[in-house]
Amino acid sequence: MTTGGRVLGVDSGGSGLRIALADAADGRVAETVSSREPVRTGPGGIDAAHLLEQLLPAAEAMLRRAGTAGSVAAVAIGAAGMATLGDELRAVLPGALEQALGVRKLALAADAVTAYAGAIGQRPGVVVAGGTGLIALGTDLTSWRRADGWGHLLGDCGSGAWIGRAGLEAAMRAFDGRRGGSGALLARAEARFGPAAGLPGALYPRTDRPAVLASFAPDVARGAADGDPVAAEILARAAADIAEAAAAVRPDDGPCDVALTGGLFKLGDPLLVPLGEELAERLPDARTVAAAGDPLDGAVTLASALASGSLRLPREPRMLHLVG
């Protein structure tokens, strides 16, 4: 069991890479650095070499500045796509990190797992992580339960991309003169993207379509706050989908905590009020709690627990893969 030294927590997502150097004993963060360059995904999945190109120089510089001698006690890396695209990371990173940093304890986690650990730590419960996409994760500390997180074409129901797409559909219905349209959302869409007739050409060729769709979600929330019934109905449907995902993953026995984490929930009352009502109906014995931290905090939590031998969250090959 390791009780001293340093650990590294890493959060790899669509907006780049964040790295935290922390004390192994208590998880207190000494320094955080970030890169705005997302780790590439190629034919073999998430590109291990590209992640290491960013991680190793930054980690070595942080350790020098901290005056830390010797090896790193543990590293935890949470990555978007780890569950389905992480085979190369699981194959390459253990040897590479041991050689470069002396790491013998490594946790490779889906970003939903680090979001969970950051939000409510190592206790049973449910976390819904919402941003451009959306996933719900629950555990009784024996196994993981997952709902959604299937991307904007197959799911992510209630996410920023889902809300934005529904809002743009309502705008185009108004443009066509069909039922279910919103003139207010049409005006907001044209203010953001230009003439409605040009929207398909502006949207469909984009490789970042989910993010572009999600960029319209705040407009939908503002429309609902201003009294647009179509926008309010979109957010009510989103709230129902989010609560349904949370209910699908809750542990079987007893009351549980539910935490919401991610930028989606910064949309404010137009989403949070109906979501609170839906959670009360679908999870009447659950307690909604504020998220204690974000996915980088969760990565630090995992690394510190791994170093001290106190990791309680369930090990599953594609959700939380442990080495050492």
Tokens of 101: 């940093």
pLDDT in tens, the chain (324 residues): 444 589 999 999 877 899 999 988 888 998 999 888 888 888 888 889 999 999 999 999 999 888 875 578 999 999 988 888 888 899 999 999 999 888 989 999 999 999 999 999 999 999 999 998 899 999 999 999 999 988 888 999 999 999 999 999 999 999 999 999 999 999 999 999 999 999 999 899 988 888 899 999 999 999 999 999 999 999 999 999 999 999 999 998 778 899 999 899 999 999 999 999 999 999 998 899 989 999 999 999 999 999 999 999 999 988 999 998
Instruction: Using CA atoms of 276, 282, 283, 288 in order, give the dihedral in degrees to the nearest 10.
Output: -20
Q: Report the predicted TM-score, pTM, of the whole model to 2 decimal places.
A: 0.86
Sort strands 6-13 and 16-23 into parallel, antiparallel or unpaired: antiparallel
DSSP type of residue 38: P
What is the CA angle 144-146-151, rounded to 5? 145
- Listed in sequence order, the residues at least 6 apart from 184 whose beta carbon sits closer than 8 Å to its beta carbon are 223, 226, 228, 230, 231
DSSP per residue over 26-42, as a string?
A: T--EEEEEEESSPPPEE
